[in-house]
Amino acid sequence: MSDVTKKKQVDRNRSIDPAVLEVLSKELPCDTAYDRYVAQQPQCKFGDTGVCCRICIQGPCRITNKAPKGICGATAYTIVARNLVRTALGGASAHSDHSKHILLTLKALLDGHAPDYSIKSPEKLRAIAERFEIATEGREDMEILADVVKLGMDDYMRMSGDSVKWIEKTVTPGRVEKFKSHNIMPTSVFETIASATAQTHMGMDADPVNLIFKALEAGLADYTGMHIGTDMSDVLFGVPTPVFTEANMGVINPNKVNIAVHGHNPLLSEMIVQAARDMEADAKAAGAEGIQLMGICCTGNEVLMRQGVPPVTNFLSQELPMMTGAIDAMVVDVQCIMPGVQAVAECYNTRVITTSENAKIPGAHHIDFSEEKALEQAKHAISIAIDGYKEREGVECCIPSDKNKVVAGFSVEALYDLFSAINADAPIKVITDALKSGELRGVALFAGCNNLKGVHDENHMTIAKELAKNDVLLLATGCAAGTYAKMGLLTPAAIDTYAGDGLKAFIKRLNEANAGKLEGDLPLIFHLGSCVDNTRATNLATAIANDFGVDVPKIPFVASAPEAMSEKAVAIGLWNVAMGLPVHVGVVPPVTGSDLVNGIALQVAHDVYGGYFMWETDGTKAAAKMLEALDYRSWKLKVHA
Ligand code: MSK
């Protein structure tokens, strides 16, 4: 066996998910991300450390000891910092574009052009309006919605003279003051994206500190888009409440029409859920037992949180469910959709259906999704899947049996509802009292993706188990939550296996106080939603800080992206640092080509904002660093009685 073949076999095992390993163990007729990762080795070290500049077309310029400046004279610190700003802008643009579509759908609803949508949570709409001091008394929901949508659009489009309201009203007063005094408070989402892109043009800003601060502003623009997205999705589709389902490839049912929804935006996937319910009879008429919907990535998280649709897998293994031979259609919207899905689909007779005008894949079916014809188009997608099922009849499927129970659906409102059974007057005190007594050692948010620079799902699992053992309250979003769903950590059973005594007692008290209210007991890790929903965690951090009477940099709360991959993860990391949180990243990002920029990320950010990054690829060491950060804050805050 050649070295290359040996390496390929090793790398095909770059996952700890048994369902993934089972699919990859077979002779496959086409490649997957696991193979393409091997083919890309060795990866370019200039790109990997951030010192490749392609901003002007005299380049690429690559910084070496022999050539320490680009043709224009830019040094490593300018190049690395500029690249970081542009990466953050990619993330901020993606989240903001997602939420812009939700705002535009609400506008269309107001104008009578979105007949299939309605206000599902008038309570959330009124809560948002009250947050912004918009009058609610005696007003119709649609009148209030018009004011809220206008405010959201203003936060997207303002050109000068004021700053983003969605930040001002959702973070601590201390953070508002910090962002304003350090000139990183966005005027609006689009203004930051335009001015930061201009600032990184050739021949513009060469100052690394100025550039990094602009990256933090881009992060805050990202926060704005994300928070608007979560709020408006809750209004349009309902505030998540606990749901009980299953996850991993064992949810695929060979006797049903299997449809995977993949991407991020719930505008279409919510309609697919509705259409699937309406079209059960059509599937049965085609000889199937019904329709099995399942989710991938964050569209999967959206429909899990609100509709209980089971997640079939997370980002890295998105091609693999099709390799069971049983997926009839994969309906995709935006972001994190590997172009590679189409080649796999062609091998396994799956129909990939793209639905966004800015996310098409050659060879795929395309439905030009519009809010005016949303349900009709969702039904069209399902009929394509039913046609696929008819062609699949008689074809042998090879489906891993792995699946685990899942408890998800924890919006902040749902958590407060649980906490209210213990302290109705001040629900957040359920957490802060547990922090004060030492029952909980801190709170950790797991966010982000998968990345083949590590082993798929391994860091997520290692760090979570270690922190659970040490009594840290665990929250998760995005594909981190996807890992925990697949691997059985979103279950009550995982508490017995992994939680320390303090965390066990905390969750037991919640279970006892809410006995009979839910379909089952609470899980080890609380799933807060898709990657766009990370602001739910910040809302909790803000409430904890306010209850302690301090600013966020003082509370024992950490964030981690154990397997960060996307530009969005970079933007999220930046705003979490600006919020004042220690942020662990399990993949070293391309900033190490400049000691100065790396030093700003690791230390200077701490001095100025209270938050900072920790790069650590080893899961066990990362958990130790996160615990150290929590303990330091608890000690400084003197929270333990
Ligand atoms: S889908 S951004 S891989 S979390 Fe949100 Fe997952 Fe990361 Fe995409």
In 3D, which of 187, 177, 34, 111 has the Cα closest to residue 610? 177
Please give the ipTM for the structure prediction. 0.96
Question: How many A from CA of 298 to the centre of ligand 1?
Answer: 6
Q: What is the Cα–Cα distance from 61 to 56, expressed in whole angstroms?
A: 9
Ligand 1 binding site (Cβ under 6 Å of any ligand atom): 264, 297-298, 315, 336, 448-449, 478-479, 530-531, 565-566, 568-569
User: Which residues pair with residue 615 across a beta bridge?
Assistant: 585
Q: Which residues does 139 contact at the CB level (< 8 Å), separation at least 6? A: none
What's the CA-to-centroid distance between 72 and ligand 1, angstroms?
A: 36
- pLDDT tens string 71-119: 999 999 999 999 999 999 999 999 999 999 999 999 999 999 999 999 9
**337 Cα: distance to centroid of ligand 1 (angstroms):** 9
Ligand 1 mean position, distance from CA 412 (Å): 21
Confidence (pLDDT) at 603: 87
CA distances from 302 to 9, 110, 468, 488, 521 (A): 35, 23, 25, 19, 22
- Whether cis (ω within 30° of 0) applies to the bond prior to 266 is no
Query: What is the rounded CA–CA span in Å between residue 131 and residue 358?
Result: 33
522 to each of 319, 339, 514, how far by Cα in Å?
31, 37, 10
Q: Rounded to an integer, what distance in angstroms lies between the CA atom of residue 155 and that of residue 168?
A: 11
Model pLDDT for residues 596-630, shown as the tens digit of each residue: 999 998 988 899 999 999 999 999 999 999 999 99
H or E element at residue 573: helix 567-579
Confidence of residue 393 (pLDDT cuts 50, 70, 90): confident
**Which token pair is 187?**
């005027």
3-state SS of 352-372?
EEECECCECCCCCEECCCCHH
pLDDT at 427: 98
The DSSP output letter for 531 is: G
Q: State the distance from the centre of ligand 1 to the C-alpha of 478, rounded, in angstroms.
A: 6
Q: How many whole angstroms from 318 Cα to the centroid of ligand 1?
A: 11
3-class SS of residue 150: helix
Calculate mean pLDDT across residues 529-547: 97
Asked if 570 contacts 88 with a C-beta cutoff of 8 angstroms, the reply is yes
User: Ligand 1 centroid vs 11 CA: distance in angstroms?
Assistant: 22
Q: How does pLDDT run across 486-513, given as a tens digit for each residue?
A: 999 999 999 999 999 999 999 999 999 9
Q: Which helix (H) or strand (E) holds 415?
A: helix 412-420
Q: What is the pLDDT of residues 261-282, one digit of tens each?
A: 999 999 999 999 999 999 999 9
Mutate to test the pocket of ligand 1, among 222, 265, 297, 560 (most ligand atoms within 8 A of CB): 297
Indicate the burial class of 459 (C-beta count within 10 angstroms; 0-12, 13-18, 19 or more). buried
- Atom index in ligand 1 nearest the CA of residue 448 equals 4
Q: Which of 301, 449, 528, 532 gets mutated to test ligand 1 (max ligand atoms within 8 A of its CB)?
A: 449
pLDDT in tens, 321-372: 999 999 999 999 999 999 999 999 999 999 999 999 999 999 999 999 999 9
Q: How far is the CA of 430 from the centre of ligand 1 (A)?
A: 30
Among 567, 602, 590, 615, smallest CA distance to 90 is for: 567
208-237 and 76-110 helices, crossing angle to 10°: 20
Q: What per-residue string of b and e applies to 463-490 under the rule 16 or more CB within 10 Å gives b?
A: bbbbbbebbbbbbbbbbbbbbbbbbbbb
Q: How far apart are CA 491 and CA 485, in angstroms?
A: 8
**Alpha carbon of 585 to ligand 1 centroid (Å):** 14
The whole-number pLDDT of residue 7 equals 47
- Sequence-distant contacts of 543-546: CB under 8 A, at least 24 apart: 543/412, 543/428, 544/428, 544/431, 544/432, 544/435, 544/443, 545/172, 545/174, 546/172, 546/428
Q: Which atom of ligand 1 is nearest to the CA of 314?
A: 6
User: Structure tokens of 92?
Assistant: 């901020």
Give the separation between CA 50 and CA 62, rounded to whole angstroms: 9
CA 382 to chain centre: 26
581 dihedral zone (left: phi>0; alpha: psi -120 to 50; beta): beta
Task: Give φ, ψ of 585 to 5 degrees.
Answer: -125, 125
Dist. CA 477 → ligand 1 center (Å) = 9
End-to-end CA distance of the chain: 62
Q: Give the DSSP letter of residue 317.
A: G
Residue 237: CB atoms within 10 A of its CB come to: 24
Please classify residue 175 by burial: count the beta carbons closer than 10 Å to its beta carbon, then call 0-12 exposed, 13-18 middle and 19+ buried.
buried
Task: Give backbone dihedrals phi and psi of 369, rounded to 5 degrees, phi first.
Answer: -65, 130
111: which residues sit within 8 A by CB, 6+ positions away?
none
Q: Specify the amino acid at residue 554.
A: K
Is 50 exceeded by the pLDDT of residue 6? no
C-alpha to C-alpha distance for 383 and 279, rounded to whole angstroms: 9
pLDDT tens column, 185-215: 999 999 999 999 999 999 999 999 999 999 9
- Domains annotated for the chain, with CATH where assigned, are 3-62 (no CATH), 76-237 (1.20.1270.30), 246-392 (3.40.50.2030), 409-637 (3.40.50.2030)
Ligand 1 atom closest to the Cα of residue 450 is 3
Using the structure block, give the residue that is written with the tokens 């519009």.
370
Cα 488 from Cα 470, distance rounded (Å): 19
Is 582 strand, coil or helix?
A: strand
By DSSP bridging, strand 612-615 and strand 582-585 are: parallel
Say if residue 75 is exposed, middle or buried (CB neighbours under 10 Å; 0-12, 13-18, 19+). middle
What are the pLDDT digits (tens) for 13-40? 799 999 999 999 998 999 999 999 999 9
Q: 263: helix, coil or strand?
A: strand
Exposed / middle / buried, residue 111 (Cβ in 10 Å: 0-12, 13-18, 19+): exposed
Closest-CA residue, ligand 1 atom 8, reads 336
Which of 335, 451, 531 gets mutated to test ligand 1 (max ligand atoms within 8 A of its CB)?
531
468 Cα to the center of ligand 1, angstroms: 23
Instruction: Using the mean position of ligand 1's atoms as its centre, give its distance from the Cα of residue 313 in Å.
Output: 12
If phi > 0 it is left, if psi is from -120 to 50 it is alpha, else beta; for residue 475 that is beta
Angle at CA 375, nearest 5°, toward 372 and 376?
Answer: 85
What is the number of the ligand 1 atom nearest to the C-alpha of 482? 6
SS3 readout for 181-223: HCCCCCCCHHHHHHHHHHHCCCCCCCCHHHHHHHHHHHHHHHH
Neighbours of 510 (CB within 10 A): 18
pLDDT digits (tens, 9 = 90+) for 396-449: 999 999 999 999 999 999 999 999 999 999 999 999 999 999 999 999 999 999
- Give the sheet arrangement for strand 365-366, strand by strand: 311-313, 291-296, 257-263, 329-332, 351-354, 365-366
Ligand 1: which of 230, 304, 479, 527 to mutate, most ligand atoms within 8 Å of CB? 479
The alpha carbon of 122 is separated from its chain's Cα centroid by a whole number of angstroms, namely 25
Across all residues in the chain, what is the average pLDDT?
96
User: Residue of the nearest CA to atom 3 in ligand 1?
Assistant: 449
Residue 297 CA, closest ligand 1 atom number: 1
Q: Is residue 180 scored above 80 in pLDDT?
A: yes
pLDDT digits (tens, 9 = 90+) for 144-153: 999 999 999 9
Of all protein residues, whose CA lies closest to atom 1 belonging to ligand 1? Answer: 297
Atom of ligand 1 nearest to the CA of 335: 8
Q: How far is CA 307 from CA 222, 270, 530, in A?
A: 26, 8, 13
pLDDT category, 534, cuts 50, 70, 90? Answer: very high
Atom 7 in ligand 1: residue holding the nearest Cα: 449
Give the Å distance between the CA of 9 and the centre of ligand 1: 26
Atom of ligand 1 nearest to the CA of 449: 7
User: For residue 150, with 0-12 CB atoms within 10 Å meaning exposed, 13-18 middle and 19 or more buried, which class applies?
Assistant: middle
Atom of ligand 1 nearest to the CA of 477: 4
Q: How confident is the model at residue 4 (pLDDT cuts 50, 70, 90)?
A: very low
Q: What does the pLDDT read at residue 11?
A: 61
181 CA distance to ligand 1 middle (Å): 32
CB contact set of 96 (below 8 Å; sequence gap of 6+): 156, 189, 190, 193, 221, 222, 224, 225
pLDDT one-digit tens code per residue, 127-165: 999 999 999 999 999 999 999 999 999 999 999 999 999
